[in-house]
Amino acid sequence: MHYGTLFLTMCGIVGYTGKQQAKPILLEGLKRLEYRGYDSAGLALSSPSPTIQNFVIQRNAGPVQGLIDASTKIGLSETTGIAHTRWATHGVPNETNAHPHRAGNIVLVHNGIIENYAQIKEKLQHIGVQFSSQTDTEVFAQLIEFHRVQILKSDTTLNEEDAVLRALKKAMSEVDGHYAILFMALTIPGKLFGVQNGAPLVASKLKDGCLIASDIQAIIPYHNEVCFLPKGEILIVDENHFETRNLKTDKVSVPKIERMDWTADKVEKNGFETFMLKEIFQQPLVVADTLSGRLPSDESGAFIWDHFKAHEVLWKNAKRLYLVACGTSYHAAMTAKYFFEKWARIDCQVDIASEFRYRHPVFETGTVVGVISQSGETADTLAALALANQAGVSTFSICNVPSSTISRESGFHYPTMAGPEIGVASTKAFTAQLTILCALALDVGRLRGNDDLASFQALARLPHDIDRILKQSETFIQIGAKLKDQKIILFVGRGTMYPIALEGALKMKELTYIPSEGFAAGELKHGPIAYIDPNVTIVTLAPRDECYAKTISNLEEIRARGGHIVAIGTEGDEEIKKISHEFIGLPASAWGTMPILSVIPLQLLAYGCAKALGRNIDKPRNLAKSVTVE
């Protein structure tokens, strides 16, 4: 079974060149990108001077603080540098794979993905190029360096900068992908070069130099006039120059400057109007970060967990699984039930934590209790965990706060890497929970001889698929706004879409205060259909899956009674479009990943409706982010 892995790097890039010491500016910039978590970080520094030109590189696995501690003795005089935080869903995160990557005179950092890196790597290795890492980034650096050397060999009259620019253009013509790169050429001290092909690069001319980053919040503390580098232009900067050059015509231009009206508060929200919206848009990165270093990188298909051996023993002996949680985390548990029973063939029961103890659950040999919690401090969930611990059964937690009580008091901890979730209505933590549960159930299934390659491959594609859905966010918000006068809003789904329907209803009710109810689509005719009339909106989750035909007939039942239908289906589904009033099309995905994609529009529908009602979106009335009372 060849798993093959989609190489995906979701990263933060910072660069500086000018009169000031570069290191503190670079490290401060990386810290401003750390809200997203990371698995490695690095920086490279150089300093042009008539007598010496020193160059130093420092890379660390782990958080930015590790890099700060490791670089106290370097970079005391260098004034040019590039720095990077890495989130890779490919291979073990370590120093070797950390950026910057050096290839001869080229030192480079990268954000995004080089789709055809393996073919290019093979070609370069064939002509003797040696590689030290598994990354696509090093392939890009080696390709530029290879062309730079060849170009200088064929025309010795060329100056270094022209050779580097020609080499860059040649390399860009050969790579396929969605990326931004920032690099320095050691033979051209004091200069930085940047290009982007779909991933952002932002630059600002400071009074004593130039700052470049992949995200604006690393720049705003220094200046609010920025240039968003357009595709097709090369950014070339040094202490005295701030220009772009057109890749095709070589025409040099002064970059178009935009003034950002950001405040410190907005910087904290990365320019979004609320934390919730910021967190919705962080989901591609959060999913990538949660998968970071977990996806199989060899033929075995084994996922990479902490305490790997104990994990295998636990799951090889598991006979019954209880998943216990509250609220949104309970909906993650309900979704995971489908995963564990289909892939791992383990009997999986799901409980609301506050009810768990009252049903006197049976604990036998081989029972495993899993608790799911964003905060890791929810009293009801803690009580359920305590009950399981007292019974002496194996326990694990899926939690977003590693230092939390639930993480510490469970036998195993599978962390979600969503970073701090400020909005009371949980979004990115939920998709992170579903991601880790999908990966875990897939891996347990593999351990038990059930492989689902399609779902595994779709899992690795998730960050890109979520990114694509978010590009329609304005449409979803507008559809949500139109629901603001509804007296009740219903959400229906079948199979794995049923818990997602419940989650959609919870988002809507907690943000808008409009009565909202989710239920299994098959239950419609057993009572809830009495709700349906032309003033009622029904949000129906209808992907092209095994339940599709029955969901279509549910839609017909609703249509026949005049209900207003908002359908969320697979993009291009003309049949659903015909019978719904609003249609939201999602990228086709695998059975296991469709729930994760399907919740994104539901988050934005609730957001749009709450915004139209003027609700306090980050802090809805009566709610708390962590319910530490039973």
Find, among 183, 129, 194, 186, the residue nearest to 160 by Cα: 186
The single-letter DSSP state of residue 229 is: P
CA 103, CA 141: separation in Å to the nearest integer? 6
For residues 101 and 209, what is the distance between their CA atoms, to the nearest angstrom?
24
List 196, 395, 416, 426, residue binding ligand AGP (CB under 6 A): 426
**Cβ atoms 111, 135 nearer than 8 A:** no
Residues 581 and 558: beta-carbon distance below 8 Å: no
Q: Which stretch binds ligand AGP (CB under 6 A): 77-85, 299-307, 375-383, 529-537?
A: 375-383
Residues 6+ apart with CB under 8 A from 159: none
**Which of 465, 510 has the CB closer to ligand AGP?**
510
Whether 191 is a known active-site residue: answer no
Nearer to ligand AGP, 119 or 628 (CB): 628
CA distances from residue 222 to 77, 205, 207, 210, 213 in whole angstroms, order as listed: 20, 10, 10, 10, 12
Nearer to ligand AGP, 328 or 589 (CB): 328
Distance in Å, CB of 395 to ligand AGP, minimum: 15
Question: Could you check whether the bond before residue 528 is cis, i.e. omega within 30 degrees of 0?
Answer: no
Is 328 a residue that touches ligand AGP (CB under 6 A)?
A: yes
Does residue 373 touch ligand AGP according to CB under 6 A? yes
Q: Contact between 424 and ligand AGP (CB under 6 A)?
A: yes
Question: Of residues 327, 419, 499, 569, which one binds ligand AGP by CB under 6 A?
Answer: 327
Binding mask 610-629 for ligand AGP (x = CB under 6 A): ----------------xx--
# of chain residues touching ligand AGP (CB under 6 A)? 15
Q: Please report whether residue 201 would count as binding ligand AGP according to CB under 6 A.
A: no
Q: Which stretch binds ligand AGP (CB under 6 A): 50-58, 142-150, 232-240, 419-427?
A: 419-427
With contacts defined by CB under 6 A, name the span among 158-166, 177-185, 420-428, 472-480 that binds ligand AGP. Answer: 420-428
Which residues have CB under 8 Å from 207's CB, separation 6+? Answer: none
Q: How far is the CB of 512 from ligand AGP (least distance, A)?
A: 13
Q: Which residues of 423-434 are buried (b: 16+ CB within 10 A; e: fewer)?
A: bbbbbbbbbbbb
Angle at the Cα of 392 from the Cα atoms of 386 and 396, rounded to 5 degrees: 65
**Residue 425 binds ligand AGP, judged by CB under 6 A:** yes
Query: Which of 169, 482, 619, 625 is the catalytic position?
Result: 625
Q: Is 11 known to be catalytic? A: yes
Q: Nearest 5°: CA angle at 448, between 443 and 452? A: 55
* Residue 189 identity (one-letter amino acid): P
Nearer to ligand AGP, 112 or 370 (CB): 370
Task: Between 135 and 328, name the residue whose CB sits nearer to ligand AGP.
Answer: 328
378 interacts with ligand AGP by CB under 6 A: yes
Q: How far apart are CA 194 and CA 184, in angstroms?
A: 9
Q: Side-chain half-sphere of 118: how many Cα atoms within 13 Å?
A: 6
Q: SS3 string of 256-322?
A: CCEECCCCHHHHHCCCCCCHHHHHHHCHHHHHHHHHCCCCCCCCCCCCCCCCHHHHHHHHHHCCEEE
The one catalytic residue among 11, 210, 399, 547: 11
Looking at residues 497 to 536 of the shown chain, list those that interact with ligand AGP (rule: CB under 6 A): 510
Q: Which is nearer to ligand AGP, 342 or 428 (CB)?
A: 428
Find the shortest distance in angstroms from Cβ 438 to ligand AGP.
Answer: 17
Point out the residue whose Cβ comes nearest to ligand AGP. 327
Q: Which stretch binds ligand AGP (CB under 6 A): 271-279, 360-368, 372-380, 473-481?
A: 372-380
Name which of 400, 429, 424, 331 is nearest 626 in CA terms. Answer: 424
Which residue among 80, 137, 367, 381 contacts ligand AGP (CB under 6 A)?
381
Q: Using the rule CB under 6 A, which residue among 329, 407, 473, 496 binds ligand AGP? A: 329
Query: Could you say whether residue 209 binds ligand AGP (CB under 6 A)?
Result: no
* Nearest CA-CA partner of 440 in 298, 594, 586, 332: 332
Annotated catalytic residues are 11, 625
- Note the residues at the interface with ligand AGP (CB under 6 A): 326-329, 373-375, 378, 381, 424-426, 510, 626-627
